[in-house]
Structure 1
Amino acid sequence: MTTNKYVLGVDIGGSHITAAVMDMESRLILEDSYTRCRIDAHGKPATIINNWKAAIDLAYGKAGLEIDKIGIAMPGPFDYENGISHIAGNDKYEAFYGLNVKEMLAGALGIEAGNILMKNDAACFLAGEMFAGAVKDYANVIGITLGTGLGSAVAAYGNTRDANLWCSSFQDGIAEDYLSTRWFLKRYYQLTGVNIIDVKSLTELYDESETIRTIFDEFSQHLAAFLMLFLQDTEADVIVLGGNISNAWPRFLPNVLKAFKANSIEVPLRISELNERAAIAGAASCWENLAVTS
């Protein structure tokens, strides 16, 4: 039998921690275990660790399981193998800089540090979609998350890594300037003089506003150009899109596909099936090839 049939996947965000137990055999999340708690990413290290512990305890308690194997999706920069944070200058978890976060959390939970595996959050999104989501049948994949920021990851022969392209040179700035919620809000204000709170609000007004349709057309041009640059350096068989903006895919994806066709690019695009749970599944999947069987 597989001794780590159940693994807890944890997604560490800037304002929340989400956690859920995953059945590694069925590749399904135990829905009753799903836990989401607010976190103050500006707090003291001990306070943050205790809050993470509380969420992890709660998720395991809901599943009726004892704390065992844990996979964590963590933003970078971070030494994932050793568990040491290098986060600085991005307004979250800066108090952890230089500290061994893995050992601190293991100590709080009363487990060995070896029971915790950590991986970049963008890479976990992609790993989750490959393990239990939209691209299960692929080994060479590009993963993009479109939201408050731009996440990018690449998988080669099933091994995922952060591509870290958010700050890559693009048009008159960096890629994230054109492929994030910030761009939508800025562009809408430039064209209308009106502030709007999120992309969902724009999507709801799409049919009645030519301005918003224009904005989505421009976004599709940015995304197509970015993806075509990415594909030049990556042998991907498929691209998967996630993040909150991907929920508006009917507004921009057709034009991206038209641009691909015009440039003779036949790589298919998929939309995330797991959404915010992709990183949880990907974090748990860190243990996929480490199952001990007997």
Structure 2
Amino acid sequence: MRVELLGVDIGGTTIHVGLVANNSIKKEAKILVDREAAAAITLQSLLNVIRQNLTGNVVAIGIGVPAVVDPDKGIVYDVQNIPSWKEIPLKSILEKEFNIPVFINNDANCFALGEFTYGQAKNYKNIIGLSLGTGIGMGIISNGMLYNGVLCGAGEIGMLSYKDSIIENYASSFFFTEHYNATAKDLADEARNGDKIALQAFNEYGSHLGEAIKNILYLFAPQAIILGGSISKAYPFFKEKMLESVQGFAYQKQIENLIIEVSQTNGSALLGAASLCLQKTNNNALN
């Protein structure tokens, strides 16, 4: 019998489900998230999409949620994209429904874990996964283990003070909407056509992101930083200024071999959610 895991990534606009076996996603499905729906309705939608993709070979379910999470009790609090989910005992609900173990963590942690387990960071013990999108999410792998902190709250780099505000307002999509009145995607499209204003926007963004990365280097001294999220697709437009800022780091020896790369792994967050099961069970048969 082929042993399988089910990974679930609850994102900004979708719930993404993937069947994971032999280190890859064998089958996947997406459904839209209705921000205005009642908690019970969204929960039922989640149950339905899991049920539709569950096989008899699935031995555990791993879920990444953009929220404060109690990973032991499996309770999610104040889910960002589902306002009605204020305090949901998701683990107990799903385990009662499907009668298999369920493991839950923050979505940024799942991205980092996916890169560490399956992606470019698998040869390093100390890595950071940095998801650049509506916000800036960060997951920490320290000495080969996912570091959660209290209620999976470690890694909230976006909340640190920066300039007149916080890092998130300069190193996520908020920067483009606030300073250029446009989305990162639209500006990336214009930058591909050589638009000078769009290129300037990404130059400025890269400088701010580089400053954020310097903070990460001072705090965690990782071997590798893997970038993901929608904004990472525009990496060629902000790479130069980002690296220029990073070179201002005080301890040059520390960053001589630092790796900063954009994720090339399909479904890192899904794979990372599935990897929660591996970390908890330590069952080599799941690999």
Query: Match of 1:281?
Result: 271
Deviations 1:127-162 (A, max 9, x none): 001111121111101111111111112110122234
* Secondary structure of 2:59's aligned partner: coil
* Secondary structure of 2:157's aligned partner: coil
Give the number of equivalent residue pairs: 272
- Name the CA distance, whole Å, in 2 between partners of 1:212 and 1:14: 25
Aligned pairs (5 A) from 1:133-282: 133-160=119-146, 161=148, 162-189=154-181, 196=182, 198-206=183-191, 207-263=193-249, 264=252, 265-266=255-256, 267-274=258-265, 277-282=267-272
**Could you tell me which amino acid in structure 1 is paired with residue 46 of structure 2?**
W
Aligned-CA RMSD value: 2.2
Deviations 1:183-225 (A, max 9, x none): 1122223xxxxxx3x3222122224322222111111110111
* C-alpha distance 216-67 of structure 1, shift in aligned 2 (>3 A): same
Structure 2 residue runs of 5 or longer lacking an equivalent are: 149-153
Deviations 1:107-126 (A, max 9, x none): 3x3315xx101111100000
* Secondary structure of 1:10's aligned partner: strand
**Could you tell me which amino acid in structure 2 is paired with residue 12 of structure 1?**
I
* Secondary structure of 2:159's aligned partner: coil
**Could you tell me which amino acid in structure 1 is paired with residue 11 of structure 2?**
G
**Could you tell me which amino acid in structure 2 is paired with residue 167 of structure 1?**
M
Q: 1:46 aligns with which of 30, 33, 40?
A: 40
Q: Confirm or deny: 8 A CA contact 1:18 1:280 kept in the other structure.
A: yes
Q: Confirm or deny: 8 A CA contact 1:128 1:280 kept in the other structure.
A: yes
* C-alpha distance 292-253 of structure 1, shift in aligned 2 (>3 A): closer
Q: Confirm or deny: 8 A CA contact 1:241 1:269 kept in the other structure.
A: yes
* C-alpha distance 183-262 of structure 1, shift in aligned 2 (>3 A): closer
Q: Confirm or deny: 8 A CA contact 1:78 1:87 kept in the other structure.
A: no
Deviations 1:230-262 (A, max 9, x none): 110112111110000000101111222233345
**Could you tell me which amino acid in structure 2 is paired with residue 35 of structure 1?**
A
* C-alpha distance 148-99 of structure 1, shift in aligned 2 (>3 A): closer
Q: Confirm or deny: 8 A CA contact 2:62 2:274 kept in the other structure.
A: yes
* C-alpha distance 164-252 of structure 1, shift in aligned 2 (>3 A): same
Q: Confirm or deny: 8 A CA contact 1:9 1:21 kept in the other structure.
A: yes
- Name the CA distance, whole Å, in 1 between partners of 2:70 and 2:59: 22
Residue 102 of structure 2 is aligned to residue 111 of structure 1: no
Query: Match of 2:4?
Result: 6
**Could you tell me which amino acid in structure 1 is paired with residue 176 of structure 2?**
F
**Could you tell me which amino acid in structure 1 is paired with residue 108 of structure 2?**
A
| Identity percentage of aligned residues | 27
Q: Determine which structure has the larger strand proportion and give its number.
A: 2
* Secondary structure of 1:69's aligned partner: strand
Q: Confirm or deny: 8 A CA contact 2:105 2:273 kept in the other structure.
A: yes
**Could you tell me which amino acid in structure 2 is paired with residue 105 of structure 1?**
L
- Name the CA distance, whole Å, in 1 between partners of 2:75 and 2:2: 25
**Could you tell me which amino acid in structure 2 is paired with residue 155 of structure 1?**
I
**Could you tell me which amino acid in structure 1 is paired with residue 213 of structure 2?**
L
* Secondary structure of 2:124's aligned partner: coil
- Name the CA distance, whole Å, in 1 between partners of 2:136 and 2:156: 9
Structure 1 residue runs of 5 or longer lacking an equivalent are: 190-195
* C-alpha distance 154-292 of structure 1, shift in aligned 2 (>3 A): closer
- Name the CA distance, whole Å, in 2 between partners of 1:122 and 1:261: 26
- Name the CA distance, whole Å, in 1 between partners of 2:232 and 2:128: 15
Query: Match of 1:192?
Result: none
Residue 25 of structure 2 is aligned to residue 29 of structure 1: yes
